[in-house]
Amino acid sequence: MTFAEEIRLGIPDYLPEMLPYDNNINHAPKRKEILTAEERQLALRNALRYFPKDLHAQLAPEFMEELDKYGRIYMYRYRPHYDMYARPIDEYPHRSEQAAGIMLMIQNNLDPEVAQHPHELFDTVPSSGIWLYCRLIEGRYPNYNSVIPTVNTNCATIDRKSLLGAIKRVLPFASESSSLVRFHVEEGSLLVSAEDVDFATSAKETLTCEYTGVKMDIGFNGSTIYDMLNNLISDEVIIKLADPSRAGILEPAVQPEGQDILMLIMPMLLND
């Protein structure tokens, strides 16, 4: 099986062969026995839920043995068979370069030449041949949809690189403590400005844009919106606004294939 085929396989629906414990690499020390009996059962249930139910009877005692012996469930049986290192990004099967970049980063961090304990990291979640490491947090997941404005009558379409350049040039003149950048948008134009009252410095740039809506002044953290724009690849972006007190929505004018990108940025108070 090739590397790409093994990545695409994801979690197999059969029980893979157990790989031998490798004594030639550095292993993590045993974790202290701090879990209660209830927490141990929770850890086991959390580990088993990623695998077909017909394998639970075989995996449960195996995972519990790992918990007893090492203090964590490492799922050694599901350790990938291929060599772990960062390959050229095109060797990762993907629909977006961002996804391939995440796979590359994870495999680089698990490279035996990089990782201190390449076979032992925190709770593992196998997905599409890649192992993600996380912690299960009990509680109700926040209703993020409640903060996304659904009525955005003010929309600006603007060249992404032009906006990136403008923010990059005015940001050094913003207050170091807030990185506040002001957007003044009206029909046909977007004025990007920043000011540091303490040092009496300011800068502004005017960009052309397509805008429908009322004149508006709204503040954003310049560093945050710069990073958001820098992680998009479309030529143009759409900024959707409800009012200066509500979150703004940033979207690519053309969505990448197989993706639906929506970025939410909270406004900052303007001192007029």
Cβ neighbours of residue 230 closer than 8 Å, sequence gap 6 or more: 164
Rounded to two decimals, the pTM is 0.53
Would you state the structure tokens that stand for residue 218, as one six-digit string? 């709204």
pLDDT digits (tens, 9 = 90+) for 224-242: 999 999 989 899 999 999 9
Cα separation, 219 vs 184, in Å, equals: 9
**pLDDT value of residue 83:** 87
Higher pLDDT, 260 or 193: 193
Whether the Cβ atoms of residue 56 and residue 50 lie closer than 8 Å to each other:
no
The predicted-structure confidence for 63-87, as pLDDT tens digits, reads as follows: 999 999 988 888 888 888 888 888 9
Q: Which three-class secondary structure state does DSSP give residue 60? A: helix
Q: What is the pLDDT of residue 231?
A: 87
Q: What is the average pLDDT score of the chain?
A: 86
pLDDT digits (tens, 9 = 90+) for 49-67: 888 899 999 999 999 999 9
Beta strand pairing call for 154-159 and 210-212: antiparallel
